[in-house]
């Protein structure tokens, strides 16, 4: 399963950019969300490990306006990001 890191930041909306697991190589796809809830939905749909600690980290990132987490994507999801 491909693993990617979506980093998010709040700047007149929630901007999300994606890095491959080395955290240096950027993927071309960028997303913008109006609601912070969409970041949680992204984590759920992307098979992020959403234990209590990771959920708290995502919520903390939302509270301070920036953060990130790892997704475990299917091959099809990864292909659509590239």
Q: What is the pLDDT of residues 5-60, one digit of tens each?
A: 999 999 999 999 999 988 999 999 999 999 999 999 999 999 999 999 999 999 99
pLDDT at 21: 87
- For the record, the structure tokens of 64 come out as 């301070």
Q: Would you state the structure tokens that stand for residue 2, as one six-digit string?
A: 């491909």
Q: 74 near 46, Cβ under 8 Å?
A: no
Instruction: Give this prediction's pTM.
Output: 0.90
pLDDT at 82 over 90: no
Residue 75 exposed, middle or buried by CB count within 10 Å (0-12, 13-18, 19+): exposed
What residue segments make up the domains of the chain, in order of their start?
Answer: 3-81
């Amino acid at each position: 399963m491909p693993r990617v890191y979506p980093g998010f930041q709040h700047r007149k909306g929630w901007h999300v950019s994606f890095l491959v697991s080395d955290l240096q190589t950027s993927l071309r796809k960028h997303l913008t969300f109006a609601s912070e809830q969409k970041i949680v939905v992204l984590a759920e749909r992307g098979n992020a490990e959403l234990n209590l600690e990771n959920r708290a980290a995502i919520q903390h990132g939302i509270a301070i306006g920036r953060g990130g987490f790892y997704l475990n994507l299917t091959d099809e999801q990864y292909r659509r990001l590239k």
